[in-house]
Copies of this chain bind each other. A is one copy, B any other.
Amino acid sequence: MQYNPEFMTLAYEEALKGYNEGGIPIGSVLVHKGKVIGAGHNKRVQKGSVILHGEMDALENAGRQPASVYRECELYTTLSPCPMCSGTILLYGIPKVIVAENQTFMGAEELLRSNQVEVIVVNDERCHELMQKFIAEKPTLWNEDIGV
């Protein structure tokens, strides 16, 4: 199997949690050998954080891992990873990223691919709709999150 839809559902549920907290609805899970070792969602609003994007929060919640673990991980995320999150994926050598959608925002997928990271975009309608709803409600907050 190229990817496991159940893990994308977990990432979506993280995004939804973020939305219900009044935050930016992007979620992520870090999976090691079929087991979630870190789950998280964007915490810009909740923690006043400029670095806790969904992917970063998932990695942070996974705690300190040896390089050998990251190299066997897959990262599921509800939105195409921005340059910060993509750089982090490269730093830790995570080989595979499953992206719900990149219509709302096209991240640094080319940078990932040019560094031999496998990027799979699955066009998840739930994640896309949630982001569209959020952006319509809070466009300024969204722009802040992507440095615009």
Residues in chain B near residue A87, CB distance under 8 A: 82-88, 90, 108
A33-71 vs B: 1/0 string, CB under 8 Å? Answer: 000000000001000111110001001101111110010
Contact of A50 among B44, B63, B85 (CB under 8 A): B63
Return A113 CB to nearest CB of chain B, in Å.
14
Residues in chain B near residue A65, CB distance under 8 A: 50
Chain A residues proximal to chain B, CB less than 8 Å: 44, 48-52, 56, 59-60, 62-67, 70, 82-88, 90-93, 108, 111, 143-144, 146-148
Return A66 CB to nearest CB of chain B, in Å.
7
Contact of A51 among B51, B83, B144, B148 (CB under 8 A): B51
Q: How many identical chains are in the complex?
A: 2
Interface-centre pick from A67, A88, A108, A148 (highest chain B CB count, 10 A) = A88
